[in-house]
Copies of this chain bind each other. A is one copy, B any other.
């Protein structure tokens, strides 16, 4: 298949992959680094990198290229279209104050759960270095489990995960997912599914991370879960 006769643009697809191939260590990457990582030719790689540079998305330091803050604008249309700044952020913040714990939102995209609203006050999340755009493990996190449990069966393609089958039925019956302090780091997580207005399959989840022992079962069931669920209903129109 050549680019000319295809329905998609290989150049654009390759450029998008290049944008995601930049290193996380902040030292920047050379054209050769990127070409090797992506298995592109150097000439094609240079052309894509120079295009990003001309548009302001990367900057050069000698032969090393680094992403600029402008790349954050590529996600802005999504955040604005979902009213993350105007509706979701304020609602989550208001409920966070009421609950005493910051609430996070992650949304399913394909088979990835993507962090959309970051809770900067969660020590556990900060230790892990999560930011907007980070992927959360589907089966190992409360937000992932709360999402999976409320997908329709054909969607539920992660049934080979650790103990998910039985676990998801329980989560569905209870209406929330809870992950205790299994790794001994002192934090637990609890999450409820989030639905859009026109779907009965979860599009993501709302959750909090809290220090082990802070809440008893009664407080979780009577206060935390109902408040998270109320919050999920409030933001449904944005999802």
Which residues of A come within 8 Å of B, CB atoms? 7-9, 11-16, 19-26, 47-48, 50-52, 54-57, 66-86, 89-90, 92-93, 102, 107-110, 112, 114-118, 120-121, 126, 128-135, 204, 238
Contact = CB atoms under 8 A, between A and B. Distances in A.
Contacts of A19: 74, 77
Contacts of A107: 69
A84 to B, nearest CB: 5
Contacts of A110: 56, 68, 70
Contacts of A50: 7-8
B24 A77 contact: yes
10 contacts: A8-B54, A9-B51, A11-B15, A12-B14, A68-B78, A75-B75, A79-B131, A84-B131, A85-B130, A102-B120
A80 B77 CA distance: 21
B85 A129 contact: yes
Contacts of A24: 77, 80-81
A16 B12 CA distance: 8
Contacts of A23: 77, 81
A48 B12 CA distance: 7
B132 A83 contact: no
A69 B196 CA distance: 14
A78 B89 contact: no
